[in-house]
Amino acid sequence: MPSFTKIISKFMLNSLLGTNTIAMKNLSGAISLQKDIELWEYLLVVHPTAEVHTKILHEKKKFETRYEQQGDTKFHPHITIANFWAKEAMEETFIRWIQNICNLQKNFTVTLNNFSGFPSAGLYIRIQDEEPFKRLANALKILDGFMQSNDCPQLKLVSNPRIIFVTRLSQCTFDDVIKDYSQKTFHESFKVEKLILLKRDAHMNCHLVNTFILPPLALFD
């Protein structure tokens, strides 16, 4: 017998999807990029603006030069809001659902505030105010019942939003890095006006699925 949570989730899903149809961009659900795999990994993320993105890459390049690290060609600064595995056939449904959730949110400003470290592993850039991300994550919880009712793993939602800067450092390098970067100042802000949905293939390459617009504050005044 289905759980009460799943029954409620399905009811709310039907209610959300009963609202007006949302136009979808870059939808690739009709073309499978890896037809032999049933589940895809999806990431719902925020990308910094071009200006802040460039500054982070500049800082990353200085790090690689100083610590003689090989250039990370797959490094793309982002903040992950949700991470989940789903069937490609489910895309159209959860894209409409996520857009309807975003319609009830509002855009906001993110401030990046210096560096911190994963224990003996790497560095990340801190987010000064985590509340807007936690509100988004809380609103997306309803998606979990839909995923699990379709035999997909549990949805993973952000609890500590951040931008991963570097990982997999040796203990010796990490000790030097954390001493250096605990004293370093990095302070940038940017406005979050959209969320990006990506799917990641078996080769760890990400493909754009959809862009979700967050309404301006003026609509909520």
Tens digits of residue pLDDT in 159-214: 999 999 999 888 888 999 999 999 999 999 999 999 999 998 887 888 999 999 99
Q: In the chain, which residue ranges form alpha helices assigned H by DSSP?
A: 4-17, 50-66, 91-103, 131-140, 142-149, 171-181
Q: Specify which residues 212 forms β-bridges with.
A: 195
Residue spans per domain, the chain = 4-16+37-220
Least reliable range by pLDDT among 7-16, 61-70, 82-91, 128-137: 7-16
Give the pLDDT score at 31. Answer: 36
Q: Which residue is it, tokens 């690290």?
A: 69
CATH superfamily placement of domain 4-16+37-220: Cyclic phosphodiesterase (3.90.1140.10)
